[in-house]
Structure 1
Amino acid sequence: MTYAFTSNDARDAFAAFPPRSRTTLMAVRAMIFDIAAAFPPDQNIGCLKETTKWGQPSYATPDTKFATPIRLGLSKADDPAIFTHCQSTVMADFRALAPPELKFDGNRAVHLLNNHPPKLNELAPLIRAALTYRL
């Protein structure tokens, strides 16, 4: 599904990504919105809000504060990446269960492939864990 941008800053951040990375990161963006929308009513995580933090698109639930922010950007190696707060356990917990071919940057990021839509079954546990971190 395609989601309209609600933040001009986030839209501009995506426009600034190199096209080879933008494709992958836009697919992750849609995945974040799809997963957030799929939570059952009894597990209401609150409204997902798209903003920017440090110039990167960021996704959180400011009304409930259940989520630890998920940011999308480029790693130091210039790979598209998903970032979570390094002081949360989200990335470390995900790393313990993740497929061995995924590349990580410590407890802060998982690297993705350029021009390659990420696999939902691989990244969904990370996104769900971040969206429900304080639930």
Structure 2
Amino acid sequence: MTDEIPQHTLAAWKDFPDALAERLIALRQLVLEVAGDNPAIGPLEETLKWGEPAFLTSATGAGTTIRINRHKKRDDKYAFYVHCQTDLVERYRQLYRDRLNFDGNRAVVLDVKDELPVEAIRHCLAMALTYHLRDSGQAARSRADPVNPRP
């Protein structure tokens, strides 16, 4: 996967205000960086799910799908979404309830006017992209730490 934004992703965001599109591009870049920092995640497949840019760990099966898009068709909110049947958002709440906002059991919601809380979001993304490694016990056998890939 390269940092070049695929046409299908650009098309999904083409009518968004510039400020929202810039935030989504920054969030997309963070997803790619987190995946690139941890070999256990493997290459990401970038596609559309429900018309929203989505990232899958198809090659390794290491994590759950992450989708990124504006939130509830609002131009001032954006989010990343994980599968609603995981416990990820509950884990995020336990760790970051004072720093992040959530929607139900599937989304971390961000405000366009606020600075991206990079370290908290990076950690949440890493947890999602390695979700199946932890569940299956493979993380313990992996040389790479799936949650904290940097020494």
TM range (shorter): 0.7 to 0.9
Match of residue 3 from structure 1 = 3
User: Which residue is 2:106 aligned to?
Assistant: 108
Tell me if structure 2 keeps the 8 A contact 1:24–1:117: no
Shift of 1:117: 4.3
* Equivalence map 1:76-91=2 (5 Å): 76=72, 78=74, 79-91=77-89
RMSD over aligned Cα, in angstroms? Answer: 1.8
- Ranked by relative contact order (alpha carbons within 8 Å, sequence separation 6 or more), the top structure is 1
Does residue 74 in structure 1 map to residue 70 in structure 2?
A: yes
Q: TM-score, normalised by structure 1?
A: 0.87
In 2, the alpha carbon distance for the partners of 1:8 and 1:106 equals 30
Structure 1 runs, 4 residues or longer, greater than 6 Å off: none
| Separation of aligned partners in 2, 1:8 and 1:97 | 35
* CA offsets 1:33-61 (integer angstroms, 9 cap, x no match): 0111111x4xx222111111001000111
SS in 2 for 1:16: coil
1:119 positional shift: 2.1
Structure 2 match to 1:58: 54
- Please list every run of 5 or more consecutive structure 2 residues that lacks an aligned counterpart in the other structure: 134-151
Mapped contact 1:24–1:116 kept (Cα < 8 A): no
Q: Output the TM-score relative to the length of structure 2.
A: 0.78
SS of equivalent to 1:62: coil
Give unpaired runs (5+ residues) of structure 1.
Answer: none
Aligned residue identity for 1:35: V
Please give the alpha-carbon distance, in whole angstroms, between the structure 2 residues aligned to 1:84 and 1:17: 22
**Percent sequence identity over aligned pairs:** 34
Contact 1:94 / 1:125 at 8 angstroms: preserved in 2?
no
Question: Cα deviations across residues 106-131 of structure 1 (Å, max 9, x unaligned)?
Answer: 11111111154412112111100110
Within-5 A mapping of 1:10-29: 10-29=9-28
Larger Rg: 2
